[in-house]
A and B are shown apart, each in its own frame.
Chain A
Amino acid sequence: MKTTTNFKAAIILSVMASIMVACSSNKKPIATDTATEVAGSEVDFKIEKSGAQLWGEVCNRCHIAPSPADYNDTDWETISLHMRVRANLTEEEITKIESFLKSAN
């Protein structure tokens, strides 16, 4: 039983590690969703989401998106770092959301 447990754990942790390594390339993301901001050249056409759009999409996954006016800029910086780790958000997501909250409060 102990061997079986170790085997299952090894398989699952190996899969996790493989995915982590596979995803750690520097390939630029190319999104094809609704455009709110367009950047890039003729070769590398990239459509990026705004902080407001990410605020609506990301925060609502767990709780109602917060009102920007409820905290000041300093507080939003602290909350953003906390939420980046708690909800496991990408750096781009939290950076844009934080910028939006600070600009809209």
Chain B
Amino acid sequence: MTLIILGLGSSALAQTYNTFEPSKTQFMLRGYGHTGFEYLDTGGEQESTFLGATFAPIFLYKHSDKLMFEAELEFELEGNELKTGLEYADVMYVLNKHMTVRAGKFLLPFGTFMERLHPAWINRLPSRPLGFGHDGIAPASDIGVELRGAFDLGGPKLNYAVYVTNGPRIKDGSEEPEEAGMLDFGYYEDVNKAKALGGRIGLLPLSDSSMEWGISAYTTNSTGAEDSDYKDVGAFLWALDLSYVKSITPLQGVVDIKAQYNSSNVDTATYYEIEDGISEPYSFDNQSSSFYTQLSYSPIMSGSDFIKQLEFVGRYSDFNAPEGAEWEEKSTQYAFGLNYWLSWRSVVKFSYQTTKMEGGHDSDGTTRTNGLFVHWAIGF
């Protein structure tokens, strides 16, 4: 009798234990969040504020060793309003060891900043370089299909990505006259039959993968609606990026260099501005560019537990919008930061940033903005 009870008990225990075995499919919640404080002085006008927290959950569903779905949501308080967004949502399948296909809304490999470096717990400074984000010239995400993969060249490595997406919409000025001629990469609905083609090739020439050079291209034959005057306005963008991350013993730490140059060329078109109730046509050479380079140093080999958690950062960036456009602008920015890493995915950032902007939306003069930032970011 005792043996029967023990047998039944062990069987029940085994069944209970089995429920803790990994399932064939796996679901995981990751993401990041950040908050902070900012003090800005814009041409003598000061403002300071605690920033509403930003929460960006990432959902990962691994169906098998080859099939996965990933999605990232964004929740951000802007003033009193909760802004929501879908950063990406795509399904991916590993076709072979050198090729994966993705479909859906995905981050575009146009350079590396937006695809790999922009999350707050990865970006070494609280802000993005000029030319990225709202009103930026570098496309961040789009809806379409992509092939990507990587090769080992016997020490050096090479990676690639090619994609077809809906493409951007050109702002014709009917809604926002001061932005006429600007490409809207956040307009995901396809406004015409043309698609955008793009790709990036990355080369890691050193066997320790410490350096990566990348070249990206992005083009479309049409950015306007089928029935609009801007149907034949095409665009061609390209970018160069560099990454160098190396542990250097004489410096007792890690040196991290990042850089990216973006160029945007949009076909010349005629736009209209209203002056004294009269519509006046105008056009301009629609070429924009932006550049950033960033250097950071982490003394991780220091004997002090406090010092080895520190990181020193400096970044230069500039942005040039077309001369003659309503949004004509020449800006330069310097940013300096001191970070303290609480863990590999949680960082407190202290930074100072000064930006000189000539032109800009509805502005003809020069504006200088100085800012102090304290941000706390955590990945999970």
Main secondary structure of the interface of B (DSSP, over half): strand
A41 contacts B by Cβ under 8 Å: no
CA–CA, A74 and B62, complex, Å: 10
A31 contacts B by Cβ under 8 Å: yes
In the complex, the answer to whether B159 meets A88 with C-beta atoms within 8 Å is yes
In the complex, the answer to whether B153 meets A29 with C-beta atoms within 8 Å is yes
Residue of A nearest to B151 (CB): A23
B71-97 residues with Cβ-Cβ distance < 8 A to A are: 92, 94, 97
B70 contacts A by Cβ under 8 Å: yes
A1-51 residues with Cβ-Cβ distance < 8 A to B are: 1-2, 4-6, 8-9, 12-13, 15-17, 19-20, 23-24, 27-33
CA–CA, A60 and B122, complex, Å: 10
B193 contacts A by Cβ under 8 Å: no
Across the interface, B212 reaches (CB within 8 A) one of A61, A81, A92, namely A61
CA–CA, A63 and B379, complex, Å: 11
In the complex, the answer to whether B160 meets A19 with C-beta atoms within 8 Å is yes
Across the interface, A90 reaches (CB within 8 A) one of B151, B201, B207, namely B151
Smallest distance from the beta carbon of B73 to chain A beta carbons, Å? Answer: 16
Smallest distance from the beta carbon of B270 to chain A beta carbons, Å? Answer: 13
Residues on A with C-beta less than 8 A from B375 are none
Smallest distance from the beta carbon of A64 to chain B beta carbons, Å? Answer: 4
In the complex, the answer to whether A88 meets B219 with C-beta atoms within 8 Å is no
Residues on A with C-beta less than 8 A from B197 are 9, 13
B156-187 residues with Cβ-Cβ distance < 8 A to A are: 157-162
Q: Mark A52-67, 1 if CB is under 8 A from B, else 0.
A: 0000011011111111
Residues on B with C-beta less than 8 A from A74 are 22, 26
B30 contacts A by Cβ under 8 Å: yes
Q: Mark B4-29, 1 if CB is under 8 A from A, else 0.
A: 00000000000000000010001010
B98 contacts A by Cβ under 8 Å: yes
B234 contacts A by Cβ under 8 Å: yes
Smallest distance from the beta carbon of A75 to chain B beta carbons, Å? Answer: 6
In the complex, the answer to whether A2 meets B267 with C-beta atoms within 8 Å is yes
Smallest distance from the beta carbon of A57 to chain B beta carbons, Å? Answer: 5
Residue of B nearest to A64 (CB): B344
CA–CA, A90 and B152, complex, Å: 7
CA–CA, A24 and B265, complex, Å: 33
CA–CA, A66 and B232, complex, Å: 48
Across the interface, A20 reaches (CB within 8 A) one of B62, B160, B245, namely B160
Smallest distance from the beta carbon of B31 to chain A beta carbons, Å? Answer: 12
In the complex, the answer to whether A5 meets B267 with C-beta atoms within 8 Å is yes
Residues on B with C-beta less than 8 A from A57 are 208-210
In the complex, the answer to whether A16 meets B28 with C-beta atoms within 8 Å is no
B310 contacts A by Cβ under 8 Å: no
In the complex, the answer to whether A5 meets B234 with C-beta atoms within 8 Å is yes
CA–CA, A50 and B201, complex, Å: 26
In the complex, the answer to whether A61 meets B209 with C-beta atoms within 8 Å is yes
Residues on A with C-beta less than 8 A from B268 are 1
CA–CA, A89 and B150, complex, Å: 6
B92-145 residues with Cβ-Cβ distance < 8 A to A are: 92, 94, 97-98, 100, 102, 109, 115-117, 121-122
In the complex, the answer to whether A30 meets B155 with C-beta atoms within 8 Å is yes
CA–CA, A17 and B236, complex, Å: 18
In the complex, the answer to whether A88 meets B161 with C-beta atoms within 8 Å is yes
CA–CA, A16 and B149, complex, Å: 12
CA–CA, A36 and B62, complex, Å: 32
Smallest distance from the beta carbon of B95 to chain A beta carbons, Å? Answer: 12
Residues on A with C-beta less than 8 A from B92 are 85
In the complex, the answer to whether B341 meets A9 with C-beta atoms within 8 Å is no
A79 contacts B by Cβ under 8 Å: yes
Q: Can you spell out 22 A-B residue pairs with CB atoms less than 8 angstroms apart?
A: A1-B234, A1-B268, A2-B221, A2-B234, A5-B235, A5-B265, A5-B267, A8-B217, A13-B199, A19-B201, A30-B155, A57-B208, A61-B245, A67-B344, A74-B26, A75-B26, A81-B62, A81-B68, A82-B60, A85-B92, A85-B102, A88-B202
The interface of chain A, by Cβ under 8 A from chain B, is 1-2, 4-6, 8-9, 12-13, 15-17, 19-20, 23-24, 27-33, 57-58, 60-67, 73-75, 77-79, 81-82, 84-93
Chain A to chain B: the 8 pairs with minimum beta-carbon distance, closest first? A9-B219, A29-B154, A88-B159, A33-B207, A64-B344, A12-B217, A91-B97, A74-B22
